[in-house]
Amino acid sequence: SQQGEEDPQALSIQEGENATMNCSYKTSINNLQWYRQNSGRGLVHLILIRSNEREKHSGRLRVTLDTSKKSSSLLITASRAADTASYFCATDHNNAGNMLTFGGGTRLMVKP
């Protein structure tokens, strides 16, 4: 299966702490993306990192990509209660139409 796998499945932290989520995949990618899903809502695109990039930042988000290990991590710094959500990695394996393969997600709870 090409499906990405997130680790951990669930994470509970205190407000202000950093949260790190990991994603592993099995076959080569064109790009890897991270999405957030609040309960009862659609997924929201957070960040896209291409296969020739190693690190990318967006506000309090930092994404790294290690293609040799076929893994990526999402770091949320100085977490807030509003960051409570599920986070999914999705991989584009260069299929026609930019089809994405989503992992099972990490459920993050940030306690105030």
Partner 1 sequence: DARVTQTPRHKVTEMGQEVTMRCQPILGHNTVFWYRQTMMQGLELLAYFRNRAPLDDSGMPKDRFSAEMPDATLATLKIQPSEPRDSAVYFCASGSWSGEQYFGPGTRLTVT
Residues 6+ apart with CB under 8 A from 29: 51, 67, 91, 92, 93, 94
CA dist., res. 22 & res. 66, Å (int)? 11
Of the residues 1, 39, 69, 96, which one makes contact with partner 1 according to CB under 8 A = 96
Listed in order, strand segments (DSSP E) in 25-83 are: 31-37, 43-50, 55-58, 61-66, 71-76
CB of 100 to partner 1, least distance (A): 6
Span near partner 1 by CB under 8 A; candidates 7-15, 56-64, 66-74, 90-98:
90-98
CB of 61 to partner 1, least distance (A): 14
| Residue 65 touches partner 1, criterion: CB under 8 A | no
| 3-state SS, residue 81 | helix
| Residue 33 touches partner 1, criterion: CB under 8 A | yes
| Residue 112 touches partner 1, criterion: CB under 8 A | no
Residue 87 exposure: Cα atoms within 13 Å on the Cβ side: 28
Contact residues toward partner 1 (CB under 8 A) are 30-31, 33, 35, 41-45, 48, 88, 90, 92, 96-102, 104-105
